[in-house]
Amino acid sequence: MDNHAIDSHLNFYETKRGLFSWIFTLDHKRIALLYLYSISLFFLVGVALGFLMRLELFSPGGQVMDPRTYNQVFTFHGVIMIFLVIIPSIPAVFGNFFLPIMIGTDDVALPRLNLFSWWLYIFGALMALGTLMFGNGPADTGWTFYAPYSVTSDTNVSMLLLAAFILGFSSILTGLNFIVTIHRLRAPQMPWFRMPLFAWGLYATAWIQLLATPIVGITLLMVVMERTFGIGLFDPSLGGDPILYQHLFWIYSHPVVYVMILPAMGIVSEVIPTSAQRTIFGYKAIALSSMAIAFLGYFVWGHHMFTSGMSDQARVVFSFITFLVAIPTAIKVFNWIATLYKGSIYITPNLLWSTAFIFNFLIGGLTGLINGALAADVHVHDTTYIVAHFHYTMFGGTIFVFLGALHYWFPKIWGRMYNQKLAYWALGLTFVGFNILYGAMLTVGVKGMPRRYYDYLPQFEFLNKVATVGSWILIIGILLMIYNLIRSARKGEIAPRNPWNGVTLEWQVPSPPPLHNFDRPFILSEKGPYDFSLLEKINEVEQKPLDH
Amino acid sequence: MFTNASNFTNDVDLTFAIIIGISLFFLIGLTALMIYFMVRYHHKRNPVAKDIHGHVGLEILWTVVPTILVLVMFYYGWSGYTDMRKVPDDAMKITATGRMWSWTFEYENGKKTDTLVIPIDKPVKLDLLSEDVIHSLYIPAFRVKEDLVPGDTNYMWFIGQQLGTYNILCAEYCGDRHSYMVSKVDVIEQQAFETWYNDTTQATLEGAEAGLALLKQNACMSCHSVDGTTMVGPSFKGLFGRNTEIESNGIVKNITADELYIIKSIEDPAADVVKGFSNIMPAYKDKMTQKELEQMIEYIKTLK
Ligand code: HEM
Ligand SMILES: [Cu+2]
Ligand SMILES: [Cu+2]
């Protein structure tokens, strides 16, 4: 059980100690953890703001804050969750930690750039927080910064836009780093179509980060210019065009939803074969559908603008392409479920987080079909239905996978096992609370309650109350999960190399891995990354009885 | 659902029903299958897994079937929508203007209101204009919504098919009082509508009463209250003769609100900004006659 007895290496925590050894580290694993801790912190801040919003909406009329504050709260919640949590989340944490290991190398291609990305992230985050202190209060525009409201609002919009601009660079650099790493550092025995699917997800994502993010960067700067120097770009009273802003904004911000989801789909494609102890069904279909989604995702941005007065032909074309994106997404779901067929399934919290993801994401995707259908979208556009739809995809989708990945790779990262019983409870509460909260918001949206509403008509009261109660259950679940993971990281049972009997490379290194990841030559199959006939050979390294 | 309140409700609800039906089928079916597999192929029941790398036939099947289904959904969404953009020639034209945070509806004969009144079973076309930021005119019961974009023109049309009063909401976030930017549409009988439409007697109000009507018409009430509560702007209650701290060109000074000050505040609000409030009130210079200003002040004076 003791890794050190086998390899005599120190693990990556032990090689160096002290604050500076962390914040100036070039080790991809430590950078991953720096991201994990910062992202978790902001996630909790975002959750707290979400809690406050739901409290305000418990009853009609003002409850705990005034309208201006509410508007600032949903803006800050959105900006934190999008730019500080979900865009970096899986790539920056699990991508950084596991991509090099899974493709058989000792670090990313550009470690200094990797550290620089994290510092940019921190700098951007501090700047976003700075809007709380400087200027006339934090922005109240919503995370979409629609002009001309964002041009005329007297709150501190400019600083928040600059923060988002800087965070964009952090994301571009991470993407660049992964592309180079996958092209240049892949183990020689690993051709493209034997890469683990998580690497495929990261690869597709990286291209979107690299190609789409600059557009939003420039767009946000244009708003800053307009606010500071009165250059008329988007505000009609200065001769600008507000619809132009929306095009530029969504040209980035639609593709970016795939930045959020593709890496998550990659992780699910890892967890399911490991849990079913068999190869993935339709490897190529899953890998290529990621690329198809990334590509098609560029041409659907107009579905956010179906009621904006865009030309009628454009609306029809955007609606059509939007439906096409549904197809590769459906293909993935079918292949995941088919992977369970004739497997030898071990039920663990890891697997249940993944199946909870599939359920939530099915709802997220299927409710998206209504948004794609022109006539129906006109009714639900800009209602709480949309808010629930994107929480189903981003929260129920990506964040659920993120939390599931924390469990799946927990033994590898911290070298200890987590408490399974508490993990089931936490997952159960989170899942139930989540569906009550957003199920109620979906319904009240179909009934016609617009989004970003501080106050609402009496007929919406009951469902809003249900939603708020759901948010409490959800938050208890999340807190329980965090408690369990923190406690287990310190007190849990010591973990073996390969607690879940996986066959990808990260299960062939010690838990936690040594500084340079590999302590012995790794085993790769000619039959692809999920060849479980190798399991015995992989596990020979460690004579620990497996605890299943 | 299927209330038939406007000529679009049934088409839109049908699109909803079709998509929700298909979606529920897949959601329930796939979830059940997933659970079944987890039980049936649990490692205790099935100790040895079988490696299946894929199946071309299945991949084709589950590419083609979703493709057909989404094309069907696209078709329903599109056909329902095409009607929404095709305005009949005989539609009655009304201009709907949105501003922070109120609506005005202007009819062809010049009649202006803050609630929309339309005759039953007659097509109505709304030309949508905004005076400041983007708003969105949303009538949930009619299943219609379209943005009001400043500097741009947009439109919507519909037929009210059932007598009654329905909510008009603003669906595009537009600032502090976005959720209070609410109005109503009254669908009434053709005859009642004609009487209402041709009645232009509202101009006969005099003095303070006319002032109140003006405050309502010009949307002052969406930012100012008359009962002392502070909304986006200071309340009108007790305004006349009040000692107020204002900021004028960066200099803070104390003034007493008299007629001249109030007129200046209305015509050029950016000049003297009341301390503790933001400079967001629109300027009304040249939009009001001297008489109208006096009538409003006369009403404000009554609010002690
Ligand atoms: C406990 C967790 C959460 C709660 C209670 C919560 C609740 C809410 C509420 C009430 C709104 C405002 C809805 C409206 O505009 O009417 C909102 C908006 C939003 N949420 Fe969350 N949320 C949570 C987690 C998340 C997560 C994990 C993400 C993303 C990963 C997220 C992203 C957003 C975004 C982007 C908005 C839109 C903000 C805007 O309108 O500008 N939320 N959330
Ligand atoms: Cu989109
Ligand atoms: Cu609004």
Asked whether residue A548 is domain-assigned, the answer is: no
φ, ψ at A41 (rounded to 5°): -60, -50
Query: Chain-centre distance of CA A89, in angstroms?
Result: 5
Residue B204: pLDDT band with limits 50, 70, 90: low
Q: What pLDDT is recorded for position A93?
A: 96
Burial pattern A362-383, b for ≥16 Cβ within 10 A else e, equals bbbbbbbbbbbbbbbbbbbbbb
- Joined tokens for residue A408: 């799946």
Q: How far are the Cα atoms of A411, A480, B9 from residue A476, in angstroms, in the given order? A: 24, 6, 41
How many Cβ atoms from other residues are within 10 Å of residue B251's Cβ? 7
Asked whether residue A101 is domain-assigned, the answer is: yes
Residue B202: pLDDT band with limits 50, 70, 90: low
**Interval A226-273: pLDDT, tens:** 988 888 889 888 888 899 999 988 988 888 888 889 999 999 999 999
φ, ψ at A476 (rounded to 5°): -60, -40
Query: Region B249-269: what's the mean pLDDT?
Result: 85
Distance CA A333, CA A282 (A): 11
CA geometry: angle A33, A80, A125, nearest 5 deg: 60
Residue percentage of chain A with pLDDT more than 70 = 97
**Interval B235-248: pLDDT, tens:** 888 888 888 888 87
Q: What pLDDT is recorded for position A155?
A: 86
Q: Is the pLDDT of residue A519 over 80?
A: yes
Q: Which residue of A has its CA nearest to B53?
A: A281
Give long-range contacts, CB 8 A cutoff, 24+ apart: A290-295.
Answer: A290/A200, A290/A201, A290/A203, A290/A204, A290/A262, A290/A265, A290/A266, A290/A328, A291/A200, A291/A204, A292/A328, A293/A204, A293/A258, A293/A262, A293/A325, A293/A328, A293/A329, A294/A204, A294/A205, A294/A207, A294/A208, A294/A255, A294/A258, A294/A262
**Interval B47-106: pLDDT, tens:** 888 888 888 888 889 889 989 998 988 888 888 888 888 899 999 999 999 988 889 999
**Interval A21-59: pLDDT, tens:** 888 899 999 999 999 999 999 999 999 999 999 999 998
Q: What pLDDT is recorded for position A547?
A: 43
Asked whether residue A432 is domain-assigned, the answer is: yes
Q: What pLDDT is recorded for position B78?
A: 87
How many Cβ atoms from other residues are within 10 Å of residue A489's Cβ? 14
Mean pLDDT, chain A, integer? 90
Query: Which residue's entry shows tokens 């929404």?
Result: B84
Distance CA A534, CA A523 (A): 8
Q: Which of B41, B85, B146 sits opposite A344 (nearest CB)?
A: B41
Distance CA B98, CA B75 (A): 33
Q: Is the pLDDT of residue A2 over 50?
A: no
Asked whether residue A267 is domain-assigned, the answer is: yes
Instruction: Report the CATH number that the domain containing residue A277 is assigned in CATH.
Output: 1.20.210.10
Distance CA B166, CA B267 (A): 35
Q: Do A376 and B77 touch (CB under 8 A)?
A: yes
Asked whether residue A503 is domain-assigned, the answer is: yes
Which helix (H) or strand (E) is B97 found in, with range? Answer: strand B92-99
Q: What pLDDT is recorded for position A527?
A: 86
Tell me the H-state helices in A230-254.
242-253
Asked whether residue A113 is domain-assigned, the answer is: yes
How many Cβ atoms from other residues are within 10 Å of residue B207's Cβ? 12
In a mutational test of the B interface, the residue from A70, A323, A355, A531 whose CB has the highest number of chain B CBs within 10 Å is A323
Burial pattern B29-62, b for ≥16 Cβ within 10 A else e, equals ebbeebeebbeebebeebeebebbebeeebbeeb
Residue A449: pLDDT band with limits 50, 70, 90: very high
SS3 label, residue B142: helix
- Joined tokens for residue A182: 């996958």
**Does ligand 1 have an atom closer than 6 angstroms to the CB of A75?**
yes
The one-letter amino acid at B275: K
In a mutational test of the A interface, the residue from B74, B131, B153, B225 whose CB has the highest number of chain A CBs within 10 Å is B74
Domains and CATH numbers, chain B: 9-85 (1.10.287), 92-197 (2.60.40.420), 203-301 (1.10.760.10)
Q: Is the pLDDT of residue B24 over 60?
A: yes
pLDDT higher at A5 or A71: A71
Q: Is the pLDDT of residue A5 over 60?
A: no
Q: Which of A68, A327, A373 sits opposite B77 (nearest CB)?
A: A373
Judged by a CB distance cut-off of 8 A, whether residue B154 touches chain A is yes
Q: What pLDDT is recorded for position A9?
A: 62
Q: Is the pLDDT of residue A116 over 80?
A: yes
Q: What pLDDT is recorded for position A543?
A: 53
Mean pLDDT, chain B, integer? 87
Query: Which residue's entry shows tokens 């299946």?
Result: B52
Nearest-CA distance A343 → chain B (Å): 4
Judged by a CB distance cut-off of 8 A, whether residue B87 touches chain A is no
Q: Give the number of domains in chain A.
A: 1
Asked whether residue A491 is domain-assigned, the answer is: yes
Instruction: Tell me whether 0.85 is exceeded by the ipTM.
Output: yes
Query: Region A481-497: what's the mean pLDDT?
Result: 93
Of B30, B32, B29, B11, the residue nearest B83 (C-alpha): B11
Q: What pLDDT is recorded for position A16?
A: 82
Distance CA B180, CA A461 (A): 16
Residue A523, domain extent: 3-543
Of A374, A359, A376, A445, the residue nearest B26 (C-alpha): A359
- Joined tokens for residue A143: 């995370």
SS3 label, residue B255: strand
**Interval A390-432: pLDDT, tens:** 999 999 999 999 999 999 999 999 999 999 999 999 999 999 9
Distance CA A64, CA A310 (A): 38
SS3 label, residue A335: helix
**Interval A140-167: pLDDT, tens:** 999 999 988 998 888 889 899 999 999 9
CB-based contact B185:B119 (threshold 8 Å) = no
Asked whether residue A444 is domain-assigned, the answer is: yes
φ, ψ at A293 (rounded to 5°): -65, -45
Nearest CA to ligand 1 atom 27: A395
**Interval B138-194: pLDDT, tens:** 999 999 999 999 988 899 999 999 999 999 999 999 988 899 899 999 999 999 999
**Interval B169-179: pLDDT, tens:** 999 999 888 99
**Interval A347-377: pLDDT, tens:** 999 999 999 999 999 999 999 999 888 888 9
From chain A, pick out residues whose CB is under 8 angstroms from the CB of B147.
Answer: 307-309
Judged by a CB distance cut-off of 8 A, whether residue B25 touches chain A is no
Q: Is the pLDDT of residue A197 over 70?
A: yes
